[in-house]
Amino acid sequence: MSFFGFKGGVHPKENKTQTKDEKTVVMKTPSMVYIPLVQQNPGIPVKPIVKVGDKVLKGQKIGDSDAFMTTPVHSSVSGTVKKIEDRAYPIMGAIVSTICIENDGEDTWAELTKLDDWEKASKEELLAIIREKGIVGIGGATFPTHVKLNPPKDAKIDTLLLNGAECEPYLNSDNRLMLDDPQSIIEGIKIIKKILGITNAIVGIEENKPRAIENMQKAAAGTGIEIAPLKVKYPQGGEKQLIKSVLNRVVPSGKLPSAVGAVVQNTGTAAAIYQAVVNGIPLIERVVTVSGKAVKKPKNVRVAVGTLFSEILNFCEVDRENIYKLILGGPMMGMAQYSEETPVIKGTSGLLALTKEETNAYETRNCISCGKCIGVCPMGLLPLNFVQMVIKGKFQELGPANILDCMECGSCAFVCPANRPLVESIKLGKLKLRELMVKK
């Protein structure tokens, strides 16, 4: 099929060779897991439905809410609830209410409800079980999947796009899934197609993953699902960039992909949907790429949600004296962590223990108005203008300048010769703008 590409973007060093050929290993579940009562970026907490002292089973629902933009959380072990307390959360340095469960080591599962024949189920039944099993977008955004798969009634959806680009440096969790278990992705795609009532599905995979492309083509043979090789460029995996590259459609400012007839899901999310609907398994574990020069044994590790970063780093034999920065996710859009005593959540795609050499920490200098940040912005925005508005406190001007269209991909900061913290300023600007919008 044709490849249309997108404007802007950058080509950071991939750093994927450390783990791309490392088969996924299963890490033993730790003696304690810590399940935050916030599991998706919209940030609406759920309420605990267990109390201290309760015995819980693996896969048992332990937190839920009536709020629309939430999904329940489940225990990733069988054991006893020891505490419900405020603990560190890996997103934005937050402190959130967390259920602390002592693992009994017995791995006793709760009864797993599932659909006996999903092909005969209604859209509503499929969306209900996807929500009940806590499925969110596990590519990093962690948007509730039951919401995303229920676009507005006036939206005319004709294409499902699966994001297998995994364009962030270092990360290989999606790549390994496509190598190790492509069939679960294909089966998940079939379920999503039924929910959306469409026949057209395309999986976009960057050309630096030739084995994954071949595996997925074999798994998709005879299904009508198309595998689209993509030229390598960051941030290819962004929803709007993927839509432009594959379908040559441009999502208007302030609109969602449904406005141009598309729904985008991560390949890992499709596999999670299959496990939830067909096997009744909630989202309680995921594959995490653990890499960086401070890691002696980089790995792709399947871990239980709620496992502390410190446990994973120990498993991969990290050299703590050489860690300069610990990052959740990839180096472009990931978030630096202030503590190892922070748990894996549903969107934890990677854990990078980087040395000072890898972070390339240069001294920040004054902006020289070179315009490089504008040239690489995949959204066609003016990052340097945003920063100037934030510095001058002109937050009310950020809305008309379309700052909310910024996807915080980090391309601007990557090319900035003055090493300006552009993304940090943009995040602050968004926060201040939203505060003004709430006050109105």
pLDDT at 42 over 60: no
AA identity, residue 232: V
pLDDT of residue 139: 82
- pLDDT band of 242, cuts 50, 70, 90: very high
Q: What was the pLDDT predicted at 218?
A: 98
Residues 6+ apart with CB under 8 A from 242: 161, 163, 165, 204, 236, 264
pLDDT of residue 91: 87
If one counts every other C-beta atom within 10 angstroms of the C-beta of residue 183, the result is 14
Name which CATH class applies to 25-112+282-358.
alpha beta
Would you call the peptide bond into 151 cis, given omega within 30 degrees of 0 as the criterion? no
Given a cut of 90, whether residue 197 has pLDDT beyond it is: yes
Q: CB–CB of 429/436 below 8 Å?
A: no
Summarised one tens digit per residue, pLDDT across range 408-430 is 999 999 999 999 999 999 999 99
**Contacts of the segment 334-338: beta carbons below 8 A, 24+ positions apart:** 334/168, 335/90, 335/91, 335/92, 337/90, 337/309, 338/88, 338/93
pLDDT tens digit string along 72-105?
999 999 999 999 999 999 987 889 999 999 999 9
Please name the helix (run of DSSP H) or strand (run of DSSP E) that holds residue 159, with its range, or none: strand 159-163
Residue 30 near residue 103, CB atoms below 8 Å: yes
| Rounded Cα distance, 428 and 425, in Å | 5
Q: Would you state the structure tokens that stand for residue 136, as one six-digit string?
A: 């969110």
- The C-alpha atoms of residue 53 and residue 141 are separated, in whole angstroms, by 33
Count each helix (H run) and each strand (E run) in the chain, helices first.
13, 17
Tell me how far apart the alpha carbons of residues 264 and 241 are, in angstroms, rounded to a whole number.
Answer: 11
Q: What is the pLDDT of residue 43?
A: 63
Rounded Cα distance between 325 and 292, Å, is: 10
Q: Which helix (H) or strand (E) holds 63?
A: strand 61-64
Question: Is residue 163's pLDDT more than 70?
Answer: yes
The structure's pTM equals: 0.95
- Provide mean pLDDT across the span 288-312: 98
Q: How far apart are the first and last CA of the chain?
A: 48
Q: How far apart are CA 114 and CA 136, in angstroms?
A: 18
371 closest CA partner among 1, 6, 8: 8
User: Roughly what angle, to the nearest 10 degrees, separates helices 210-220 and 182-196?
Assistant: 60
Token match 């190892």: residue? Answer: 340
Q: Say if CB 63 and CB 49 are below 8 A apart.
A: yes
pLDDT at position 39 over 80: no
Position 222, amino acid: G
Q: How many C-beta neighbours within 10 Å does residue 407 have?
A: 17
Ranges of H-type helices in 321-439: 356-359, 372-376, 383-391, 411-415, 422-439
Tokens representing 204? 């976009």
Please report, for residues 288, 302, 315, 342, the alpha-carbon distance to residue 25 in angstroms, rounded to integers and kept in the order given.
10, 6, 11, 21
Q: DSSP class of residue 321? A: G
Q: Please, what's the largest Cα pairwise distance for the chain?
A: 63
pLDDT tens-digit series, residues 119-160: 999 999 999 999 999 999 998 778 999 999 999 989 999 999
**Where residue 433 falls among pLDDT bands split at 50, 70, 90?**
very high
Classify 163 as helix, strand or coil. Answer: strand
pLDDT at 239 over 90: yes
Pair 63, 38: CB distance under 8 Å: no
Q: Residue 187 and residue 270: Cα distance in Å, rounded?
A: 8
- Judge contact between 440 and 396, C-beta under 8 A: no
pLDDT digits (tens, 9 = 90+) for 201-226: 999 999 999 999 999 999 999 999 99
Give the rounded percent of residues in the chain with a pLDDT score beyond 90: 91
| Other beta carbons less than 10 A from residue 113's beta carbon | 12
What is the C-alpha separation between 43 and 345, in angstroms, rounded?
13
Please give the DSSP secondary-structure letter assigned to residue 274.
H
What are residue 433's phi and psi, to 5 degrees?
A: -65, -45
pLDDT, residue 116, reads: 87
For 132-141, how does the pLDDT look when each residue is reduced to its tens digit (9 = 90+)? 999 999 987 7
Percentage of the chain exceeding pLDDT 70: 98
What is the pLDDT averaged over residues 383-402? Answer: 96
Domain 118-279 has CATH 3.40.50.10190: no
Q: Which two tokens stand for residue 250?
A: 């441009």
Asked if residue 41 has pLDDT above 60, the reply is no
Any idea where the domains of the chain sit in the sequence? 25-112+282-358, 118-279, 372-439
Q: For the chain, give the mean pLDDT.
A: 95
**With 70 as the cut, is the pLDDT of residue 40 above it?**
no
